[in-house]
Structure 1
């Protein structure tokens, strides 16, 4: 059995839908890549700053609220102070973090890199993502293999594409990764 690896990489950061006070309606916000750290006596508040794409109004997504500085490692705290790009990206693509802040994250466009298995040959494809990514596995496979919905459904029904853990291939989401079997 041949083994392949597909790497999923988001292109850009996801836009976030939430109510904008200045626009007076739901609007799209984009991550600024900057953190705000505010000290209140013995405690810190840390936010990731977002900006409305239409009017530049800011919204602060709470990363930590009333946390003791001693509970955070010195390195992590320094990354917040220096607006570390990788750390900002990590939070900006974390859909659970955004949901917890009352925002609806829109799925960003993404790229799938890796070789395509040969048709008729049994293959194992490990799909990997550096960040939790709630895209449907069916959408990934159809995009990568240039399949229509009908053709994809037929291959799944015939058992020619299946998830190694037995999840339903029509409904499952990627999250951090999965292993697919192609026959």
Structure 2
């Protein structure tokens, strides 16, 4: 059996938004990332926050990144990136839904994503099985079956049927992973022998 291996890198498109009790609006409101850090130096101690703004009134909320850290304990490159509002570093913290949830309690997440597919070596049409290796930048509430359905052009019911017949497997989690949010490091294998639209599925996996 010939297997086509494809790497997908999945990037959430919209940063999660903490739900904060806004003292200006007088109720709980979603706060958007302001894409800027606030760095405060008090002697040798440094505090760093990522600034968020209320979507309605622009009131600010600080997401703690570093607290009372000695300047000597911070890598110079990291400190420079914080002071310069490095976009990649902003994204790294803004898309960390777990850390936001620990700080704010409640977080609004979005299933919007972009998928980068690395072209495989060889000719896709000759394969009889598909192996997808998933890499996730950040976190997303998007379920695995919705991701596969959208990218491969298959109904979710068919994906579930393939799983039920043992022709679709997911590692390392195993059972019922299709119904769970996509996680970094998942590997999806689909046996396509006898599937009339095998070539269309293989092609969709690569583009």
- With over 3 angstroms needed to count, the CA separation of the structure-2 counterparts of 1:16 and 1:146, relative to structure 1, is farther
Structure 1 regions of 5+ residues with no counterpart?
none
Are the counterparts in 1 of residues 15 and 109 from structure 2 also a CA contact under 8 Å? no
| Greater shift in the superposed pair: 28-37 or 99-108 | 99-108
Provide the TM-score with structure 1 as the length reference.
0.87
Q: What is the DSSP-based 3-state SS (H/G/I as helix, E as strand, rest coil) of the residue aligned with 1:18?
A: strand
The alignment yields a C-alpha RMSD, in angstroms, of 2.2
The number of residue pairs the alignment matches comes to: 181
From the two aligned structures, give the one with the greater strand fraction: 1
Q: Give the aligned partner of residue 111 of structure 1.
A: 114
Q: C-alpha separation between the residues in 1 aligned to 2:151 and 2:16?
A: 21
Are the counterparts in 2 of residues 17 and 106 from structure 1 also a CA contact under 8 Å? no
Q: C-alpha separation between the residues in 2 aligned to 1:24 and 1:59?
A: 14
How far is the alpha carbon of 1:129 from its aligned partner?
Answer: 2.1
Mapping for residues 114-129 of structure 1, pairs under 5 Å: 114=117, 121-129=128-136
Structure showing greater radius of gyration is 2
From the two aligned structures, give the one with the greater helix fraction: 2
Q: What is the DSSP-based 3-state SS (H/G/I as helix, E as strand, rest coil) of the residue aligned with 2:58?
A: coil
Q: Give the aligned partner of residue 89 of structure 2.
A: 87
Deviations 1:54-88 (A, max 9, x none): 11011100001111111110110111111111101
